[in-house]
Structure 1
Amino acid sequence: MKTSGNTILVTGGGSGIGLALAQRWHDAGNTVIVTGRNAAKLDAAIAGRANMSAMTLDVTDANAIAAFAKEVIAKFPGLNILVNNAGVMMYEAAGARRDLTDAETTVITNILGPIRLTDALVDHLAAQDGSAIVNVTSGLAFVPLPKAPTYSATKAAMHSYSVALRVQLEGKVEVIELAPPAVRTELTPGQSARENYMPLDEFADEVMALFAREPTPVEILVQNVLPLRNAEANGNLPAVLGMLAAL
């Protein structure tokens, strides 16, 4: 993946990891479009930045995704990189029958959202030079956080989807998976203040350095996520799962 001269669409780009990476890509000489549901956050994200634009999008709405894809291609015909970053994470008590609204929202947002948006844009991307799809998953794709079972499952699903998509799009569109560790964002309440989580700026800087490698790794993995990514291969999965269960 080229580091500059791209037109990059970042979903969930108004805050957290999406915002940090979108602004770094913009600083590196790319045209960047950020999407999200909160227009005020999007406006703040692009303030004072030429060649950085904001468009609202609810990735849980299939019709909105279809309309958005047509609009973004019309406005930005050079669009060549899609970053599926938008996502939600909710803790769930799954040990007894419950209201499944949170679980269903998580699946729609974290799995169907990126699948639908990828489908809406894949033909366009395949016709562009230097095109890529970046799917943001999680270290929890490899070892689940027991108190966030549906979130962990959606990220495992997107890891698998990325592997399969990479095979189908070989020679047409590069498919890259970015799997963050626990990072100080507002993904869950109070997360941005947790001392044992990776500082956002430190994470984003390491990610950008990995994207700059040639060839670009198919998995963008900062050092902090490697214990999760490699837990099963190293025979450490029970121990790591136990550690996560104690959180």
Structure 2
Amino acid sequence: MRISGNTIFIPGATSGIGLELALRLFDAGNRIIIGGRRTDMLARIARDHPGIETIRIDVADADDVDRAVTEVRQRFPETNVLITMAGLMRSEDLSDPAFIQTAVTEVQTNILGPLRLIAGFVEHLVALPDATIVTVSSGLAFTPMAGTPTYSATKSAIHSFTDSLRIQLADTSVGVLELVPPAVQTDLMPGQAEAEWAMPLNDFVDEVMTLLPTATREILVENVKPLRFAEAAGNRDDLMAGLAHLTG
């Protein structure tokens, strides 16, 4: 993926990794369209960062995704990069049947949201001479956290889907990348923004921006590699036990 000269739509970029990556890509010389549910946050971003465009979108709502995709394609027909950033992570107690309520919400957002976005953009992107789809999984796709089982499973699904998408689009102009974050200091989970075990946000995005121009499959910062390759290293069970202890 070229690092500048793109028009990039990033739903789920009103905070955390998504916002910081959007700002870095904007500074690198790209046109950026940020999507999110909360209009107050979108208005603040547009005010604080002149030149960045915003679109309201709820990726858990199929009709709203259709509306937002149509709006982006009409207002910004040159859009050639889609980064499916939106995601939810919640703790679950699987001994309590009520966990299914959290699970359904996470599946709607973390799996169906990206798939609906890709479905809405794929024909548009294939028609362009140079385009990229970037999905966002997690190190927990490969070494799950017992305390967040549905989140981990949704990210495994995104990893698997991305591999298939890459193969199916191999003969087109669309490159397919998978961003695989470790734990990063954001508000994804309570207390994570200050946690010593999480990677500083600026350090993470610094490394991603360095890797992005040459990435062909997965974007892996050094901090995520122990999770990504735990099974091959033979220590996946030990890491899962450590993650379970970390989340109580």
Q: TM-score range by the shorter chain?
A: over 0.9
* TM value normalised by structure 1: 0.96
Equivalent residue number for residue 220 of structure 2: 221
Deviation at 1:25, TM superposition (A): 0.4
Equivalent residue number for residue 188 of structure 2: 187
Equivalent residue number for residue 209 of structure 2: 208
2:159 maps to 1:159: yes
Comparing both structures, which one devotes a greater share of its residues to helix? 2
2:117 maps to 1:126: no
| Partners of 1:210 and 1:217 within 8 A in 2 | no
Equivalent residues, number: 245
Instruction: Name the CA distance, whole Å, in 2 between partners of 1:97 and 1:224.
Output: 34
2:82 maps to 1:109: no
Deviation at 1:190, TM superposition (A): 1.6
Equivalent residue number for residue 199 of structure 2: 198
| Partners of 1:33 and 1:54 within 8 A in 2 | yes
Instruction: Name the CA distance, whole Å, in 2 between partners of 1:99 and 1:203.
Output: 31
Equivalent residue number for residue 81 of structure 1: 81
Deviation at 1:41, TM superposition (A): 1.6
Instruction: Name the CA distance, whole Å, in 2 between partners of 1:97 and 1:43.
Output: 39
Instruction: Name the CA distance, whole Å, in 2 between partners of 1:40 and 1:185.
Output: 19
Which amino acid counterpart does residue 225 of structure 2 have in structure 1?
Answer: L
Equivalent residue number for residue 237 of structure 1: 236
| Partners of 2:134 and 2:178 within 8 A in 1 | yes
| Partners of 2:176 and 2:216 within 8 A in 1 | no
Instruction: Name the CA distance, whole Å, in 1 between partners of 2:52 and 2:33.
Output: 6
2:32 maps to 1:16: no
Deviation at 1:160, TM superposition (A): 0.2
SS at match of 2:216: coil
Identity %: 47
Q: Deviations over 1:107-149 (max 9, x none)?
A: 0000000001100110001111220100011000000000000
Unaligned runs of 5+ in 1: none
2:47 maps to 1:42: no
| Partners of 1:2 and 1:130 within 8 A in 2 | no
Deviation at 1:217, TM superposition (A): 3.1
| Partners of 1:132 and 1:175 within 8 A in 2 | yes
